[in-house]
Structure 1
Amino acid sequence: MRAIEPIAKFDLAFSLMCLQNKHRHLVSRLSKAISHTGDGHLYVLLGVLALWLDGQHGRYFLLSGLLAFVIELPCYWLLKNTIKRRRPNELTGLIPAFITPSDKYSLPSGHTAAAFVIAILLSHFYPQLAAFAFVWASMIAFARILLGVHFFSDVVLGACLGIATATFALQWFGV
């Protein structure tokens, strides 16, 4: 456990820095809107649009996304329920939570994992969207911290999970 103490200290200090300011309520409203784009509805729409508008590329975009999520979701659930890291506001009263999360534990961030799945797929199939996709995925990750429901290391692990599962799916289909 001593090995993770520096990470836990950094996570707490980073969250406090982000959330202990006079603008936190204004920032939380913007963060909610950004985070909401990562709830999953947009991913379905992107997959359907790609299939409808882009033939072969769209087909592989959709199939790669489905495979990535078939792998990512159980891994995310298993990690969360094995590690059982409490949410920031449960660990200290100094960190407010501006939303009610959909599940109990914080590590890894599922929103971040899903956003990075989509960012990898968009950048692979539509390279002209790569910069936008990674900025957007990073904004979702940071929004989760600003909403007080994740620590920095939660979103880093979520991003790694999303990148790994999307990369695996692309390799699986050989695209």
Structure 2
Amino acid sequence: MRSIEPIAKFDLAFSLFCLQHKFTHPLSRMSKAVSHTGDGHLYAGIGLLAYLTAGDEGKLFLLVGLLAFAIELPIYWLAKNLFKRRRPEELSDLVTSFITPSDRYSLPSGHTAAAFLMATVTGFYFAELQLFAFVWAALIASSRILLGVHFLTDVLLGALLGILSAQAALGIVGS
């Protein structure tokens, strides 16, 4: 376990850096709004909208998205319960969480995994939206850190999980 101690120390220092400045409270309000867009409702709406309006591409988009989530969610759940990494607020009295997370553990970030999964699938089927989708995913990931519920490595591994899940689904469907 000593091999990950430097990473854990960096993660905590980075969280403290992000959460201990004069803009923390105003930034947390914006971060809540951004984070809420990654709760899942928007993804269902996007998938349905694509299905209804984008012809065969929209149908494939929905199929690949559902398959990608079917791949990502069990891995996410297993990782959370295997690593059981405590959230930033639990590890330091200096870290304040601005929201109540939906589950107990922090690694990986589910919001980030879902956002990068959707960005990857969106970018594949709708290339003109790729930059916007990845910027939005990065904002969701950043919001999770700025809300004090995830460490940097949680969101990095969440992003990797989302991207790899989407690529696996794209490979299975043969798109």
Using the size of structure 1 for normalisation, the TM-score is 0.99
Q: Deviations over 1:11-33 (max 9, x none)?
A: 01110000001111100000000
Indicate the residue corresponding to 2:21 in structure 1. 21
Match of 2:85 in 1: 85
Distance 1:19 1:59 in 2: 42
Listed as ranges, the matches of 1:1-175 within 5 Å are 1-175=1-175
| % identical aligned pairs | 64
- The runs of 5 or more residues in structure 2 that have no matched partner are none
Which residue type is aligned with residue 60 of structure 1? L
Q: Secondary structure at the match of 2:100?
A: coil
Letter in 1 for 2:127: P
AA at the equivalent of 2:56 = Q
Distance in 2 between the 1:54 and 1:133 partners? 17
One-letter amino acid of the counterpart of residue 139, structure 2: M
Which whole-Å CA distance do the structure 1 matches of 2:14 and 2:131 have between them? 25
Number of equivalent positions? 175
State the superposition RMSD in angstroms: 0.5
Partner AA of 1:54 in structure 2? A
Which one-letter code corresponds to 2:94 in the other structure? Answer: L
Mapped partners of 1:6, 1:138: distance in 2: 24
- 2:36 maps to a residue whose letter is H
**For 1:17 and 1:87, how far apart are their aligned partners in 2?**
16
Quote the Cα distance in structure 2 between the aligned partners of 1:10 and 1:53.
Answer: 46
- TM-score, normalized by length of structure 2? 0.99
Hey, which bits of structure 1, 4+ residues long, moved more than 4 A?
none
Unpaired runs of at least 5, structure 1: none
Render the CA deviation track for 1:71-129: whole Å, top value 9, x for unaligned. Answer: 11111010000100000000001000000000000000000000001000110000011
Q: What is the letter of the counterpart of residue 70 of structure 2?
A: V
Task: Provide the secondary structure at the position in 1 that maps to 2:107.
Answer: coil
